[in-house]
């Protein structure tokens, strides 16, 4: 039997563990995953199609932001 949380994370993909995700919840209980990188970089969709399996801007939650040398 698959754990509900694990199944939910697979349905979301990388966004579920990305430091740039912002979860927008509606009054009806729906959740939308917004990419905060989209505000500054047009390469990233504001609300990507899920599950996201590859993303050039992915950074695990809790990691430090990438810096240019």
pLDDT digits (tens, 9 = 90+) for 18-53: 999 999 999 999 999 999 999 999 999 999 999 999
What does the alpha-carbon distance between residue 33 and residue 8 come to, in Å, rounded to a whole number? 13
Interior angle at CA 66, CA 63 and CA 69, nearest 5 = 140
What's residue 12's pLDDT? Answer: 92
Answer for the pair 50, 33: CB distance below 8 angstroms, yes or no.
Answer: yes
21-25 and 31-35 as β-strands: parallel, antiparallel, unpaired?
antiparallel
Spell out the domain ranges in the chain: 18-57
């Amino acid at each position: 039997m698959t754990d509900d949380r694990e199944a939910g994370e697979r349905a979301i993909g990388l966004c579920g563990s990305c430091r740039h995700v912002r979860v927008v919840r509606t009054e009806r209980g729906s959740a939308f995953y917004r990419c905060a990188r989209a505000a500054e970089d047009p390469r990233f969709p504001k609300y990507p199609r899920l599950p996201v399996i590859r993303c050039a801007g992915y950074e695990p939650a809790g990691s430090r932001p990438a810096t240019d040398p």
